[in-house]
Amino acid sequence: MNETDSDDQPSTGSVIVRRAGAADVSAVNALLKPFVQQRKLLKRTRAEMQTLVPSGFVAVAGDRVVGFAAVEIYSRKLAEIQCLAVDPEFQRHGLGSQLVRHCVELARQRGVMEVMAISSSDHFLHKLGFDYSLPDQKRALFCQLRSREEVHQEPDEFDQ
């Protein structure tokens, strides 16, 4: 019996993680939409999603996309994990970790020096090797230019 054989949880044994492609944009958007509505993820334009999806990975159960993460490579020095989301029915089975590891490996293959991730789950990222500072004690500091409310009030081009 595996860890997901109970009646109230889906089996993740048939879930595969693969590179995302242009044909996945609509399914990825559908997966991300509830997370955007809950303000756990930032809303993305269609153009942003079309740019992110090819550098991302999907977790697929049957014909359903149940997870997504992308790595946005800014330069050979820095990349960022973007849009990490796993369908609530499939959470707590390691899919988020698999998606992040695939993104980190893609950045490694492309010669990127550092990968950052912004998340509300410190523990999750710590388990994957992320920390608040790099060995030479660099820290990321932010200056917010627009509020999440302003971003979420903009028209959603996916719904048009």
Q: Residues 102-111: pLDDT tens digits?
A: 999 999 999 9
15-159: CATH number: 3.40.630.30
Neighbours of 97 (CB within 10 A): 14
pLDDT tens digits, 3-14: 333 334 444 568
Judged against a pLDDT cut of 80, whether residue 35 lies above it is answered with yes
pTM of the model: 0.79
pLDDT range class, residue 2, cuts 50, 70, 90:
very low
Cβ(81)–Cβ(124) under 8 Å? no
pLDDT range class, residue 136, cuts 50, 70, 90:
low
